Amino acid sequence: MNGNLIIKNASQLVTCSGFKPKCGKDMSDLHIINDGAVVIEEGIIKALGKTGDTLPDIDESRYFVIDAEGKAVLPGFVDSHTHFVFGGYRAQEFSWRLRGDSYMQIMERGGGIINTVLSTRKATKNELIESGRKRLNSMLSFGVTTVEGKSGYGLDLDTELKQLEVMKDLDNSHPVDIVKTFLGAHAVTKEYKGREDAYIDYVIDEVMHKVAERKLAEFCDIFCEKGVFSVEQSRRLLRQAKEMGFKLKIHADEIVQLGGAELAAELDADSADHLLYASDKGIRDMAKKGVVATLLPGTAFSLRESYARGRYMIDNNCAVALATDLNPGSCFSESIPLIFALATLYMNMTTEEAITALTINGAAALDRADIIGSIDIGKYGDVVVLEFPSYEYIPYHIGVNTVEKVIKKGELVFNKEKE
């Protein structure tokens, strides 16, 4: 129907209304409309409100109509941190971790990111497209309508470009929108070991310029961590990226407290991600500058690490987003239900805060809060219909998918009833 769709009689229309990231107590306000309806025309939300008030003057025969009686309706989820384009798998490393090996020990023996780099370099573009499409299909079934994808499994010019080109092709052919991030500084290859400054020069001079010229990425990211890239190296690369027109993200304070959160605030990054060991000062600096704290509880769970201090961040007026961090090593999962369970049960976040974190705040982490992340007039018609009458069933049905239908820009793109 060309993106013309009506949802009516929703037991809860959970709008998450807003056009900027929500902080502190505002994260609990979901702006719910009982017995709600939403009207989407040509992929854009044109009207919403109570069903009886919204639809009397509308000719429903012009629309694809979904009767959501007894069902909750929410914005499409935004997974704002993933590494979903990669070659190969690392199941053996998961077994090593179960026997007690740390993430850094596995990296030091040639595993970790470098293992995936070798497999991704060998993979053809078509192979990466096919595996990436399967992962996107799975994400869509969990209600994800926008996802961020990072490069960083090439660490050389050809493979970094290949990963980003794969994401561009998938963005053009798959319902899920893909926000592309250049992560050329994800690790250091053997030939640059001990010469990290030279590798940063290579990334800036040889790779990032090409990515910028071809407009293959919107964001630039770096793994700012002990044993990977220092705060000063990260600052140098991200400043250059900003001059080239990239928006900024940073893998910060995941394994040790290094000062990545403070750097994110200093550089006005859109988000700082992981933050397991972010300092009080770093969190306050981020809150002051409006940097979104993107927390990845699935990774902490998989690595058996302490969780990021989501409750502390929210209580200190930081905008918190949640994401899966889907990747082949530290968190091989795209499960949105798992993220809801971990955030609510182990990070002391309320259900309402978790929903905000996976909708409007996830959109803000991608600088898209003006067009996605809530059910508001003028935004894309990206909507999820649950099987249950309330949003409270999402974490309550622990680890199980409660999504029945997914609408992307006014088109029904997933229907569990017909799977």
CA distance 115 to 88: 8
State whether 61 and 207 are in the same domain.
Answer: no
Give the model's pLDDT for residue 264. 98
Q: For the domain that residue 387 is a member of, what is the CATH number? A: 2.30.40.10
Instruction: Kindly give, in sequence order, each residue whose CB lies less than 8 Å from that of residue 55, ignoring residues fewer than 6 positions away.
Output: 6, 8, 37, 39
Residue 8, helix vs strand vs coil: strand
State whether 154 and 61 are in the same domain.
Answer: no
CA distance 348 to 207: 41
Torsions phi, psi of 63, nearest 5?
Answer: -125, 155
Give the model's pLDDT for residue 419. 63
**C-beta of residue 7 within 8 angstroms of C-beta of residue 385:** yes
Q: How many CB atoms lie within 10 A of CB 213?
A: 9
The number of domains in the chain is: 2
**C-beta of residue 216 within 8 angstroms of C-beta of residue 159:** no
Which residues lie across from 144 on neighbouring strands?
77
State whether 204 and 131 are in the same domain.
Answer: yes
Residue 119, helix vs strand vs coil: helix
Looking at 344, 365, 386, which one is the last position of a domain?
A: 365
Give the model's pLDDT for residue 246. 98
Report residue 400 as tokens.
């199980």
State whether 214 and 161 are in the same domain.
Answer: yes
State whether 247 and 390 are in the same domain.
Answer: no
**C-beta of residue 295 within 8 angstroms of C-beta of residue 310:** yes
Torsions phi, psi of 56, nearest 5?
Answer: -55, -35
Report residue 173 as tokens.
């052919």
Residue 274, helix vs strand vs coil: strand
Q: How many CB atoms lie within 10 A of CB 101?
A: 15
**C-beta of residue 356 within 8 angstroms of C-beta of residue 75:** no
Q: β-strand 219-224 against 177-185: which pairing, if any? A: parallel
* Low-confidence residues of the chain: pLDDT under 70: 1, 419
Closest CA to 295 of 113, 54, 144, 80: 80
Q: Which domain holds residue 403?
A: 5-75+374-418
Give the model's pLDDT for residue 190. 87
State whether 386 and 274 are in the same domain.
Answer: no
State whether 304 and 213 are in the same domain.
Answer: yes
State whether 321 and 358 are in the same domain.
Answer: yes
